[in-house]
Amino acid sequence: MKLDLTLGKSLTINTGNYSSIKPEVSITLNGIELDNLEESSYHLTQLISVLMDVQISESKIKMGEIKEQGLSTFIENFMKSDISKKMESPINELKKMDLSI
């Protein structure tokens, strides 16, 4: 019997001065044999922990950029940028991967 396994983790971290970051990670593994469920869950939990650390770091960096520029300026600069160009490289890299793993 095969199952799909989805695990996730989310946090709210108070960073002081009435501000917080709320990183979240969720991953789904498809077609896991029932006999491998416990081991798959363990490894997926380890991966989620690492990705959560990345999300916390990225969120804190982004929060610093917003504080430095001011929210209005940050949004204005973002909207002026070529959003599709920023998305192109990561999307192309994901297409190259064997995402069934």
- Given a cut of 80, whether residue 101 has pLDDT beyond it is no
pLDDT digits (tens, 9 = 90+) for 14-27: 988 888 889 999 99
Residue with tokens 């501000």: 19
Residue with tokens 């989805």: 6
The identity of residue 22, as a single letter, is: K
pLDDT at 92: 86
Rounded to whole angstroms, the Cα distance separating 68 from 62 reads 10
Whose tokens are 């416990």? That residue is 38
Prediction pTM value:
0.75
> Domain segments of the chain: what residues?
2-69
Please give the pLDDT value at position 99: 64
> Do residues 74 and 66 make contact, with C-beta atoms less than 8 angstroms apart?
yes
Tokens of 89: 């490289």
Tens of pLDDT, residues 37-96 = 999 999 999 999 999 999 999 999 998 999 899 999 999 988 888 888 888 888 888 888
Q: 51 vs 4, 46, 58, 83, CA distance in Å?
A: 20, 9, 10, 24
Q: What span, in angstroms and rounded, lies between the C-alpha atoms of 31 and 100?
A: 9
Q: How far apart are CA 14 and CA 37, in angstroms?
A: 35
Res 8: pLDDT: 95
